[in-house]
Chain A
Amino acid sequence: MSDIEQPAGELWGREGFREDPYVTAETLEEAGDAPAVILPLGVWLGLTEEIRNASNRKIGVVVAPGESVEPLLPLLDSIPVIALEFPAFSDGRSYSKAELIKNQHHFKGELRAVGDVLIDQVAYMLRTGFDTMKVNHAVTLNRLAGHNLHDVPGYYQPGRGSHTVPGTYSWRRVPGA
């Protein structure tokens, strides 16, 4: 679409847009010699430990909403990026997966949201643990470019990127590290 200020291929994070170093491929062969690749969950799980941990390329994994992240949990240290798909903005399973991966299992790599993301969902994603997003929604891209996250001044739940407020209830947080 012509009204997108940012090229759709770019990756957004708290610091703004940047180039996505990863290519997405169905198989490792298809990725050719790309130094960073994201593979479907089933393919990724089928790789040998040696290939996964190879030092010359980064191999990340993309997980569809209907797929469980359970098999990844013991292997988190060997994954540079996990991309959780949002084929439709209304499918919220990946929020809980983000919670499990980042907060319960302390994933250190990049957690990425991919797909149909409304601007009003970006703040939720950051709070549940997403680091980056690759969005296909034109209005969202425009708003992100304008640094308008539609956030609120306070949260009623703990979450990433927020801290406690002295003198108020334990479940409340305000934005900021």
Chain B
Amino acid sequence: MYRYDEFDHAFVSARVEQFKDQVERRLAGELTEEQFRPLRLMNGVYLQLHAYMLRVAVPYGTLSSRQMHKLAHIARRYDRGYGHFTTRQNIQYNWPALKDIPAVLDELASVEMHALQTSGNCIRNVTADHFAGAAADEVGDPRPYAEILRQWSSMHPEFSYLPRKFKIAVTGADRDRAAIQVHDIGLHLKKNESGELGFGVYVGGGQGRTPMVAKKVRDFLPVEDLLTYTTAIVRVYNLNGRRDNKYKARIKILVHETGTEEITRQIETEWQAIKETDLKLPQQDVDAIDAYFAPPNLVQRPEGWSELAAARKADPAFSAWVDQNVTPHKNPDYGVVTISLKPIGGIPGDATDAQMDLVADIAEKFSYDEIRVSHEQNLVLPHVAIADLRIVYDLLLTDGLATANAGLITDIISCPGLDYCALATARSIPVAQRISERFGNPERQADIGELKLKISGCINACGHHHVGHIGILGVEKKGEELYQISLGGSGDEICTIGDITGRGFSSEEIVDAIETIVDRYLEIRTDKEETFLATYRRVGAAPFKDALYSEVANAA
């Protein structure tokens, strides 16, 4: 993975010093809250309901064991013994004191981490496929390009006061695990006919109040043009994006109102003017960054498969975990392990300091020191030998980290909701917990199969409900929490925004309503191979609406 050089160290420590100064000025009353707010946001510091919240960047979701140990330490020392992994592949601490935050940033800097640009109207932490560098189906590792973008966007003088936040995601496989089409810019790393690497470029996707699937503005952008083209896009946005209405300020609205053809023309015109400038990437620089992400030297471990077969036979629970949470690796002796942070009835994405330490220890011994954070709020061990799966499983089991539910209905994405968030209009975590308990039986969820359920506690859609196969949006209506259901969303390469079923459900009704939908799916699927999403795409909303509104009406 990428390592800081002197330049990076000097930059980050200067930023920490600046923020120390800003915090001191704020506490001394030299800066008003209005003036301090954008500065603290640039450093990932929000105010939530109970306290400040610090959002720490995990660039493209990649962590070393040392970094994970540090995150655990921060949770213990400055917070309440846990952290929350988010859909942006970041980690959030919910209880830090403002006066302690400079010290936390010092700690982070010591392991080459920071909280820069995890908030504010700037280019945010660049996200990538959490299986990058490991997945069997990968064309190229997206992380070197995410790293180049991370560097280039750091304290960008022109792009730090954009109309609104700006999110870039990169995927390196045709199977899109990074949800690139619901980002401001989505980059699809691929090869052209001559075998050269480049990007399919998508612009103007996003969720929130007005969900939009991104438009493809370029089928193949050579790697050398990555920064010039991105600059052109962001410049067109910075100049023309709406600033009169916060809810219309994202680039998706600009793309929508301008039209794909015209916005593409504007981007291309700007690009032609800057294409041959200093930002054109020399191959040697791309190679140098690429070298940081060279795959680890994986030891041949062919004995794993027979051992695995025996271990599976001996323990059905282990076998179920392998089926569900282990994904094929480029190297057939290895697997990619998903560590579910979704224990049945638990809080999606939360991990205690002890769990973080355990994962760090396991990664150090069994995953070549690498950990990933997924946008699905799980952790990933990218390089685990098949021969080590059993011991890794046993270790995970010691602290509740071996739930065999990756991709199943209890692997719920949920934003923090009204239990923490100042913007939320309803709680989302308790709903996730109750659904998880309702479907917690391992056989039942395995029978239901792949089903991505996502919950947001407000219209901002941090819980990605628009692209949930089943999405739930919590709102406040007449002082009560009300939950709206949408169906058929998907954040992968065939990206769709879910359709709202109709009137919402109360907190008491919502879990039954979800069960009604799932039961209807089980009745009408052609066979077990037809997933919920495939069934929905075949039959549409009608059978589900019928089940939902007639049954609930009858029950009431």
A and B touch in the complex (CB under 8 A): yes
Measured CA separation A157–B155 after assembly (Å): 9
A98 CA to B30 CA, complexed, in Å? 30
Among B26-83, those with CB < 8 Å from A are: 30-31, 35, 38-39
Given A99-B158, A171-B278 in contact, is the A93-B238 Cβ separation under 8 Å? Answer: yes
Residues of B within 8 A of A92 (CB): 121, 158-163, 238
Give which listed residue, B18, B160, B285, contacts A170 with CB less than 8 A: B285
Residues of B within 8 A of A153 (CB): 10-11, 14
Q: Which residues of A contact B159 (CB under 8 A)?
A: 92, 95
Chain B window 1-37, contacts with chain A (Cβ cutoff 8 Å), 1 for yes, 0 for no = 0000101001100110010011001000011000100
Contact of A158 among B38, B39, B239, B278 (CB under 8 A): B278
Say whether A25 faces chain B, with CB atoms less than 8 Å apart: no
Decide if B31 touches A139 in the complex (CB within 8 Å): yes
* B15 in contact with A152 (CB, 8 Å): yes
CB distance A170 to B11 under 8 Å?
no
Considering only CB atoms and an 8 Å cut-off, how many residues of chain A contact the other chain?
37
A150 to B18 Cα, complex, angstroms: 7
Q: Which residues of A contact B163 (CB under 8 A)?
A: 92
Total residues of chain B contacting the partner, CB 8 A: 46
* Distance, CA A29 to CA B159, complexed state (A): 38
Complex CA gap A157/B123 in Å reads 14
A91 to chain B, nearest CB (A): 6
Check B239–A97 contact: CB distance below 8 A.
yes
Q: How far is the CB of A144 from chain B (nearest CB, A)?
A: 14
Q: Which of A126-177 contact B (CB under 8 A)?
A: 127-128, 139, 150-159, 165, 168-172
Note all chain B residues with C-beta closer than 8 A to A98. Answer: 158
Across-interface contacts of B155 in A (CB, < 8 A): 124, 152, 155-156
Q: Is B354 engaged at the interface, CB distance under 8 Å to the other chain?
A: no
* Contact present for B10 and A124 (CB under 8 Å): no
Decide: A154 and B11 in contact? CB cutoff 8 A: yes
Task: Decide yes or no whether A48 CB sits under 8 A from chain B.
Answer: no
- In the assembled complex, B273 has its CB within 8 A of some CB on chain A: yes
* Interface of chain B residues 223 through 256 with chain A (CB within 8 A): 227, 235, 238-239, 243
Would you call B227 and A171 a contact (CB within 8 A)? yes
| Chain B, Cβ-Cβ closest to A126 | B157
Per the bound structure, the CA–CA distance linking A93 and B39 in Å amounts to: 18
Which of A91, A98, A120, A159 is the most central at the interface, judged by chain B CB atoms within 10 Å of its CB?
A120
Taking a contact as CB atoms under 8 Å apart, the answer to whether B38 and A128 are in contact is: no
Question: Which of B39, B235, B243, B277 interacts with A96 by CB under 8 Å?
Answer: B235
Contact B156 A157 (CB under 8 A): yes
The interface residues of chain A lying within 8 Å CB-to-CB of B154 are: 156
Structural contact, B238 and A139, CB atoms closer than 8 A: no
Q: Tell whether B151 is near chain A: CB-to-CB under 8 Å.
A: yes
27 examples of A-B residue contacts, CB within 8 angstroms: A65-B243, A89-B38, A89-B161, A90-B161, A93-B239, A95-B157, A95-B158, A95-B161, A98-B158, A104-B273, A120-B39, A123-B157, A124-B158, A139-B30, A150-B21, A152-B14, A154-B7, A154-B10, A156-B151, A156-B153, A156-B155, A168-B5, A170-B280, A170-B281, A170-B282, A171-B151, A171-B281
Instruction: List 9 additional A-B contacts (Cβ < 8 Å) besides A92-B162, A154-B11, A157-B158.
Output: A65-B243, A128-B157, A151-B14, A152-B10, A152-B155, A156-B155, A170-B282, A171-B152, A171-B281
B positions within 8 Å CB-CB of A: 5, 7, 10-11, 14-15, 18, 21-22, 25, 30-31, 35, 38-39, 121, 148, 151-163, 227, 235, 238-239, 243, 273-274, 277-282, 285, 288-289
A-B complex: 5 closest residue pairs judged by Cβ atoms: A92-B161, A124-B157, A127-B157, A158-B278, A152-B14
